Amino acid sequence: MVACVVIRTDIFLAALVLDIAVGDPEWLPHPVQAIGAATAGCDALARDSGIREHPMLGRIAGIATALAVVGGSYRLATALLRRAGNSRSALEVTLAASTLAWRSLMTEVATVEAALAAGDLALARRRLARIVGRDTERLDASEIARAAIETLAESLSDGIVAPLCSLLLGGAPLALAYKAVNTLDSTIGHIEPPYRAFGWFAARLDDAANFLPARLSALLLAAAARISRGDAARSLQIARRDARLHRSPNAGWPEAAIAGAMRVRLGGYNTYGGVAYDGATLGAEFRSPDPHDIRRARELVSLAAALLAVAASALLGARDAFA
C-alpha cells in the first residue's frame, strides 16, 4: 500500500532555494543516474533474452520495467525518509531539490546564448547537444535559437512544473517517481525499433503524467507574458490552435504558448540520429527566432516558474494556517 507523503512548507521552500542556488553540480551523484542505471539493466535483460522487440512479450516486459522502476523509486525514497531519523529534513530537502531543473536549465541554455553572442557556432552546437536530442552539427544560429527556446518551453513542463506539482501532492517520493517516469520515456520511450514494443508503456505513462503539467505550463507562460508586457492573448490563441499539431500530445502546449507570447516560429524540420523528421510548425505566421530571443525566452520561463512557486507556497501556507 502506498501512503501519501505530505510535504512541509519549509521543506518545499528550502528545496526551491537549494535548486535555484546550486542546481545539479556534475560532481554530485544524482538520483536520476540510479534510475537510468536500473532502466538500462532491465533494457539489457530484455535485449539479451530476445523479447525486447517481440510485439507482445516486449510490451509485457516494458510494462513490468516501468512499474518496477517507478514503484521502486517511490518506495525507496519513502523508506529512506522513514529511516533517516534526525537527518530526515535535510534528506527530504536534498531529494526534493534533485527533482527540480530550474537552475540547471537556465544555466545550460545561458551557455548556448553566450556562445552565440560570441559568434562561436561550433561551441553553441556542442552546448546545445547537451540539452536536446536532435542532431546539432549543422544548425545555423536561428536553428540553434529555435532549439533552445523549444527546450526551455518543454523543460518548463517536465523539469519544473510537473516536479513542483508532484512535490505538492506527494512530497519527494512522488516527485522522484515522476522523475522515474520522465527518465524511462527519455531512455526507452521511443516509437522507433528496438523500443517500439518495449518502450510503449513508458511513453504512454509519460504522456499521462505530463498531461496536466503541460497545459498548466501554457497558462503560466501566458500569465508571464501578461506580467512582462508580452502578448498573453496571442500566447493562448497559438496554444489552442497549434498545440495539437505537435507529434507529442504534451510538448506542443508550452512550445506553442511561448511561440505566441514571443511571436516567433517554432517547430519544423529536425534530424535525429541522421534521420529527418518534418514536424509541425507552431506560430507559422511569425518570424524565425534569432539568438537575441533566447534571453527573452529564459525570462518568460523563469517568470512562469516563479508564478507557480509563489502559488504553491501560498497553498501550503493556507493549508498550514487551517490545519
Over the stretch 128-158, which tens digit does the pLDDT of each residue have?
999 998 999 999 999 999 999 999 999 999 9
Q: What pLDDT is attached to residue 1?
A: 42
CA distances from 17 to 32, 91, 166 (A): 20, 15, 17
| 275 or 5, greater pLDDT | 275
Contact 256, 246 (CB under 8 A): yes
Predicted structure pTM score: 0.94
Cell of 291: 539568438
Q: What pLDDT is attached to residue 200?
A: 97
Domain positions in the chain are 9-322
Question: What's at 68, amino acid-wise?
Answer: A
- Mean model confidence pLDDT for the chain: 94
16 phi/psi in degrees, rounded to 5: -60, -50
Contact 198, 52 (CB under 8 A): yes
